[in-house]
Structure 1
Amino acid sequence: MEGSRRLQGQSIGVFSEGINLLLFRWSALRTAVENEWGGRESRVKAEQLANDILSWFTQSKEPLYIDDIEDILDQGMLSLNVEVEDGSIEEVAEKLMVMHEEFLEGNFSSFENLRKANLEEAARPQVTQIVNDDEEDDSDDNRDNDENMIMDDNNENMNQEISASVANTNSVNKPVNGPLPGVSGEADDGWVVVSNRRNKGKKN
């Protein structure tokens, strides 16, 4: 992609909203902010990450490479004391690149889909709580009632967006008020909370 191709005018504002919608649906980032794993300024750090992403897309004089946006996302999560190893950084980076390319072509379909999914999720905030409370039904075989059907649809929708799981190795950071919003308990692997900033050593 040519570095000279830039978003103009209103497209920049709409693209900024799209960035925020994508980041909001990123389970790793959302959970880190809600639990203030990056300290009291966790939300501010998340907003700064969104601003950094927008600046990179709109002000970079160099061609845009996905590796660069992955680094920005990685550094943003490390500022929240979270090291992401579940592949969701790559997924988010790809979605951002695709959405940006679409905006350059005057295509806002990805943005509209994000906005629609976000509105639908906001309209039924109780669903994730129902999922977390329903620990007895581990199998997906019992789908006889409407609640289970809603949960299945919601889970499938969330999985299509970005799947992230929690491996909380530091007991100090474990939530004390029950399951995290949007996260079904403590999973086996994915992203981990780190007590301090660590240098990346696992990225090629």
Structure 2
Amino acid sequence: MGSLNGDNRSSFPSTLQKPEAAFHLQEGITLLLSRWHGLQMAVQNQWGGHDSFQKSQQLAADVFSWFFQSKALEIEDLENLLHESMLLSLNTEIEDGSIEEVAEQLMIMYEEYLHGNH
């Protein structure tokens, strides 16, 4: 199934061709991150500066992009993305194991998306 611009994506799962499915995935990522206590503490206390909320939104966008830009999706790479974003953007060191939990939930969410369960 090709697109109008000649881009042939027939090798991708059908959900990758449906904008509403990608929208639901993006919403799910944002919702999951909004429930992450460590991230919300950083935002509420503005540990990343006055634009901490925008930085949390950028993290959600970065995670969404990571799923589609990475060739091999390794949970360790996602954990590193979360850790580095929290540390560098929000000046927050997370050591409670929640990074691993959030990364695992994100990977499950992405797998569900690939199988059309959104």
Task: Give the TM interval when normalised to the shorter protein.
Answer: 0.7 to 0.9
1: CA distance, partners of 2:37 / 2:91 = 15
Alignment check: 8 A CA contact 1:12 1:58 kept: no
Identical-pair percentage:
56
Amino acid at match of 2:107: M
Shift of residue 59, structure 1, vs aligned partner: 2.6
* Secondary structure of 1:83 counterpart: coil
1:34 to 20, 38, 44: 44
2:75 to 66, 69, 78: 66
Match of 2:95 in 1: 85
Shift of residue 5, structure 1, vs aligned partner: 4.7
If asked which structure has higher relative contact order (CA below 8 Å, sep 6+), I would say: 2
2:53 to 29, 43, 46: 43
2: CA distance, partners of 1:76 / 1:5 = 29
Match of 1:191 in 2: none
Amino acid at match of 2:92: V
More helix by share: 2
Which segments of structure 1 move beyond 4 Å, counting only runs of 4 or more? none
Match of 2:22 in 1: 12
| Count of aligned positions | 104
CA RMSD of aligned residues (A): 1.3
2: CA distance, partners of 1:86 / 1:65 = 21
2: CA distance, partners of 1:5 / 1:29 = 32
Q: TM-score, normalised by structure 1?
A: 0.49
2: CA distance, partners of 1:70 / 1:101 = 16
Q: Unaligned regions of 5+ residues in structure 2, if any?
A: 1-10
Shift of residue 58, structure 1, vs aligned partner: 1.9
Amino acid at match of 2:75: I
Amino acid at match of 2:56: A
Shift of residue 8, structure 1, vs aligned partner: 2.9
